[in-house]
Copies of this chain bind each other. A is one copy, B any other.
Amino acid sequence: MQFHHAGIATDDIDGLVDLYGRLFDAPVVHREQFDGMTVVFLELEDGFFELLEAHDGGPIERYLEAHGPGIHHLAFEAADIEAALATARDCGVELIDAEPRPGAWGHDVAFLHPAATGGVLLEFVDR
């Protein structure tokens, strides 16, 4: 399993794109509107930041109201996402997505429930 990205919830995506771009020398490689969010991917040497700004009452807006800005989730690339989900099930981990579903940037993704993983929202991305 390889690191794919860290998802960061923000109420100032343009400011954070600028700051993280400079801090990490990380160019913008993708930007889209997705599921009530503005989503920007910045490229590191071996992964990405996924910056998430809410609008229209999407899930990130509710997250920001509850937690404020910060790290929202961690995503890892699985060679076989179905096998990774089966392992999670075997470990007794509640799945948010029982099957991979279309995520941002055209990825197939599946999230695990943070209550089952030590308070960490984990995402698997299909390699």
Interface residues on A, range: 35 or more
Binds B, one of A21-29, A33-41, A54-62, A97-105: A21-29
Copies in the complex: 2
Contact code string A96-127 (vs B, CB < 8 Å = 1, else 0): 00000000000000000010011110100000
Contact code string A58-81 (vs B, CB < 8 Å = 1, else 0): 000000000011110010100000
In the complex the two chains form, what is the Cα distance from A93 to B15 in whole Å? 13
| Contact status B76-A24, CB under 8 Å | yes
Contact A2 to B118, CB < 8 A, known contacts A22-B87, A24-B76: no
In the complex the two chains form, what is the Cα distance from A46 to B19 in whole Å? 25
| Contact status A19-B68, CB under 8 Å | no
User: Is residue A12 contacting chain B, with contact meaning CB distance below 8 A?
Assistant: yes
Binding site for B on A (CB under 8 A): 1-3, 6, 8-10, 12, 15-16, 19-20, 22-26, 44-47, 68-71, 74, 76, 84, 87-88, 90-91, 93, 114, 117-120, 122
